[in-house]
């Protein structure tokens, strides 16, 4: 039951809200991006997407505009709309910002007290995704796990910043996973963080998370080269 609740909440949280039809189209485009079907830098042609989804161009155009607010999609008057390009400079900048903010948010959340049942569900979701090859499911699992660790920090503005970073970080993660087989290693790191979090060891969990992000920085360089 709790696993289904976390999944439902997570699916809802990542969808722009501008009407049910638009939500569905935005969700399908986002799924294609975070599964790697629409790769980083790929053009997003309104007519082609409309044909694929069996709809008109107008809701597709609205969905792409909404997704541009997540950082997954970029638009240019010269080059049109495309999936955001992921390069080492961009990816490392996002990692750097996470290093500055996320460990402290996690430390505060644990000190305030985790939502034990929701965290347990997020862990189960993550463990289930380990054995599959679905990058979208992995991306959702990764997001759910990290969000449970920082969402209870007591600072809504900090949560909003980290939520906004999460979409872009999901695209970075999917891109890195396609180049280096890092998911299994990241899952091991997650379990160590979770053990500290569930035991109430706030400082240790924050330190492990900081190390986890630093290791991911090295994986970014391995996958994408130095900036």
Backbone dihedral region for residue 162 (phi beyond 0: left; psi -120 to 50: alpha; all else: beta): alpha
**pLDDT (0 to 100) of residue 36:** 84
- For domain 88-224, give its CATH number from 1.20.120.530, 3.40.50.800, 3.40.50.1000, 1.10.150.130: 1.20.120.530
Query: Domains of the chain: which residue ranges?
Result: 14-83, 88-224
88-224: same fold as 14-83? Answer: no
pTM of whole model > 0.95?
no
CB 83 within 8 A of CB 38: yes
Which range among 22-31, 51-60, 94-103 has the greatest average pLDDT? 94-103
Which region among 94-108, 121-135, 206-220 has the lowest average model confidence (pLDDT)? Answer: 121-135
Helix/strand/coil (H, E, C) string of 123-186?
HHHHHHHHCCCCHHHHHHHHHHHHHHHHCCCCCHHHHHHHHHHHHHHHHHHHHHHHHCCCHHHH
CATH architecture of 14-83: Orthogonal Bundle (1.10)
Residues above pLDDT 90, as percent of the chain: 56
Give me the mean pLDDT over the 64-72 stretch: 88
Mean pLDDT value across the chain: 87
Which range among 61-65, 151-155, 160-164, 216-220 has the greatest average pLDDT? 151-155
CB 14 within 8 A of CB 167: yes
Largest Cα span, the chain: 53
Strand positions, DSSP E, the chain: 73-76, 80-83
């Amino acid at each position: 039951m709790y696993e289904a609740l976390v999944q439902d909440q997570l699916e809802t949280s990542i969808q722009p809200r501008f009407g049910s039809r638009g939500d569905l189209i935005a969700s399908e485009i986002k799924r294609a991006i975070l599964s790697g079907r629409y790769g980083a830098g790929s053009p997003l042609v309104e007519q082609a997407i409309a044909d694929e989804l069996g709809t008109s161009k107008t809701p597709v155009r609205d969905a792409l505009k909404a997704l541009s607010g997540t950082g997954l999609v970029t638009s240019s008057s010269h080059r049109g709309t495309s999936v955001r390009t992921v390069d080492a400079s961009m990816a490392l900048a996002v990692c750097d910002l996470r290093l500055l903010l996320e460990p402290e948010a996690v430390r505060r959340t644990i000190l305030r007290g985790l939502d034990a049942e929701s965290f347990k569900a997020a862990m189960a979701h993550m463990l289930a995704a380990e054995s599959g090859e679905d990058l979208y499911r992995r991306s959702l699992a990764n997001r759910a796990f990290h969000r449970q660790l920082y969402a209870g920090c007591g600072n809504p503005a900090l949560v909003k910043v980290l939520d906004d970073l999460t979409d872009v970080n999901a695209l970075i993660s999917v891109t890195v996973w396609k180049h280096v087989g890092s998911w299994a290693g990241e899952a091991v790191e997650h379990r160590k963080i979770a053990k500290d979090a569930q035991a109430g060891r706030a400082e240790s969990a924050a330190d492990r998370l900081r190390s986890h992000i630093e290791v991911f920085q090295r994986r970014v360089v391995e996958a994408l080269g130095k900036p």
